[in-house]
C-alpha cells in the first residue's frame, strides 16, 4: 500500500508527534509498504531528516510557544492540500498529536478531500479533545469521572465544589502540557494563567488520588490494562517521554474482576464519544476500588515509551503489526 504518515504539525506536542511518526514510518516499511513521511507545516520529510529524527528523543519539556510560532509560519493548510504524496496515498496514517492534528480539523479536511485516514472522524475527534464535553458524555454513558468546573471560577467556588487539591489544565490539550496540581488556594490564579497560554478554555478538576491505569482500544477490543508508576506525583510530560522516569506494567496487577470492569468502562467511553479505529482511555483507581475516567486519547503516542504499543505487545502484537492493523481498520 501507499501510505502517507502525517507527523509534526504546529501543536505543543510537535516533538512527540515527530517521535511517534518516525517509528510508524519505519514499522510500516518493515511490513513492505511504500511510506512517505509528511509534516503538514513543512512538507515532505527527506531521507536525511528521517535519519536524524530516528536518533532524536522527545525531550523532558514541551517545545516553547515561541519555537512553535516559528514552525507555524509555514502555511499548514495550503501545504496539506498541495501535497501530491497525500492525494495519491491509499491511506493517511495520522501520527499528529494535539492542536489541528487531533481536534477534528485535519480529519474534516481529509474527509472533504476523500482521503482515508487512521483513527476517529472529525466529530468524535473534536468531542474527545474537548475535555468538558467528553466528561459530560462519559457521565451519560455511566462512566465515572471526577467533578469539575470551567474557568473563570473563584477560589471559594473551587473549594466549595471540589476542595483542594485540584488539577488545572487546558480543556483541549494533551501530554499534560500546561497542567498544574494546585494544593494551595494562592496558587490557583497562576495555574489558570499557565493553562490559558495553551487554550481558550481551562478546566479545574477534582484531584483523584490513586493508581494510574490505561486501557488501549483497538477496533472493538480492549487491550490488556496497564499501570503507570511515575517518578513524579503525576504522569507529566517528562515522565511520559523520558526513559526511566516511569515504570509501566502490562498487564497491571489487578484482579480478573477489576480488569474486566475497567476494560468495559474503556469500551463504554470509546463508544460514548463515537470513536473508531483505536484510542487510549486513561483512569485512576482509588483505594476504595472506584475507577475514574480521566480522558480519551484519539491519536495516542506511538513513541518508544508510549502506552498503547506496550498494551498491544502484552497481547502478542508487535509494533509493526499494530501499525498495520490500525491502517487496515482505516480501510474498513
Burial track 123-156 (b if 16+ CB lie within 10 A, e otherwise)? ebbbbbbbbeebbebbeeeebebbebbebebeee
Residue 116, burial from CB neighbour count under 10 angstroms (0-12, 13-18, 19+): middle
Of 21, 277, 301, 311, catalytic: 301
Q: Is 39 a catalytic residue?
A: no
Report residue 155: phi and psi, to 5°.
Answer: -65, -30
Q: Is 295 a catalytic residue?
A: yes
Of 130, 238, 282, 324, catalytic: 282
Residue among 67, 69, 90, 79 nearest 38 (CA): 79
- DSSP 3-state of 181: strand
> Which grid cell is 16?
512527540
Q: Is 175 a catalytic residue?
A: yes
Of 11, 124, 175, 180, catalytic: 175
Q: Is 117 a catalytic residue?
A: no
Of 14, 23, 280, 284, catalytic: 280
Q: Is 297 a catalytic residue?
A: yes
Of 13, 39, 130, 324, catalytic: 13
Of 178, 295, 311, 324, catalytic: 295
Residue among 12, 179, 36, 200 nearest 97 (CA): 12
Q: Is 278 a catalytic residue?
A: no
Q: Is 12 a catalytic residue?
A: no
Residue among 101, 104, 143 nearest 126 (CA): 104
Beta bridge partners of 43: 39
Of 117, 198, 237, 241, catalytic: 241
Of 120, 180, 297, 306, catalytic: 297
> Which grid cell is 249?
506494567
Residue numbers annotated as active site: 13, 175, 241, 280, 282, 295, 297, 301
Amino acid at each position: 500500500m501507499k501510505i502517507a504518515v502525517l507527523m509534526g504539525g504546529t501543536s505543543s506536542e510537535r516533538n512527540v508527534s515527530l517521535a511517534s511518526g518516525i517509528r510508524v514510518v519505519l514499522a510500516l516499511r518493515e511490513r513492505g509498504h511504500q511510506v512517505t513521511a509528511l509534516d503538514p507545516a513543512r512538507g515532505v520529510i527527506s531521507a536525511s531528516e528521517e535519519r536524524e529524527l530516528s536518533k532524536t528523543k522527545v525531550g523532558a519539556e514541551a517545545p516553547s510557544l515561541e519555537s512553535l510560532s516559528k514552525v507555524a509560519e509555514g502555511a499548514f493548510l495550503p501545504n496539506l492540500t498541495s501535497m501530491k504524496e497525500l492525494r495519491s496515498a491509499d491511506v493517511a496514517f495520522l501520527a499528529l498529536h494535539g492542536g489541528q492534528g487531533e481536534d477534528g480539523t485535519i480529519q474534516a479536511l481529509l474527509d472533504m478531500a476523500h482521503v482515508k485516514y487512521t483513527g476517529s472522524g472529525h466529530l468524535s475527534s473534536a468531542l474527545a479533545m474537548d475535555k468538558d464535553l467528553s466528561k459530560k458524555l462519559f457521565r451519560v454513558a455511566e462512566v465515572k469521572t471526577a467533578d469539575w468546573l470551567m474557568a473563570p471560577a473563584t477560589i471559594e467556588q473551587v473549594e466549595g465544589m471540589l476542595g483542594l487539591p485540584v488539577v488545572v489544565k487546558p480543556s483541549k490539550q494533551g501530554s499534560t502540557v500546561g497542567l498544574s496540581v494546585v494544593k494551595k488556594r494562592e496558587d490557583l490564579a497562576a495555574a489558570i494563567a499557565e493553562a490559558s497560554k495553551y487554550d481558550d478554555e481551562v478546566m479545574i478538576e477534582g484531584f483523584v488520588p490513586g493508581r494510574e491505569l490505561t486501557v488501549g482500544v483497538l477496533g472493538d477490543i480492549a487491550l490488556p490494562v496497564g499501570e503507570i508508576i511515575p517518578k513524579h506525583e503525576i504522569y507529566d510530560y517528562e515522565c511520559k517521554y523520558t526513559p526511566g522516569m516511569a515504570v509501566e506494567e502490562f498487564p497491571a496487577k489487578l484482579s480478573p474482576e477489576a480488569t474486566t470492569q475497567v476494560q468495559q468502562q474503556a469500551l463504554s467511553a470509546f463508544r460514548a464519544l463515537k470513536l473508531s479505529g483505536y484510542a487510549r482511555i486513561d483512569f485512576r483507581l482509588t483505594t476504595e476500588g472506584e475507577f475514574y475516567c480521566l480522558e480519551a486519547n484519539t491519536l495516542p503516542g506511538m513513541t518508544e515509551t508510549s502506552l498503547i504499543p506496550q498494551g498491544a505487545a502484552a497481547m502478542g502484537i508487535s509494533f509493526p503489526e499494530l501499525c498495520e492493523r490500525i491502517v487496515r481498520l482505516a480501510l474498513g
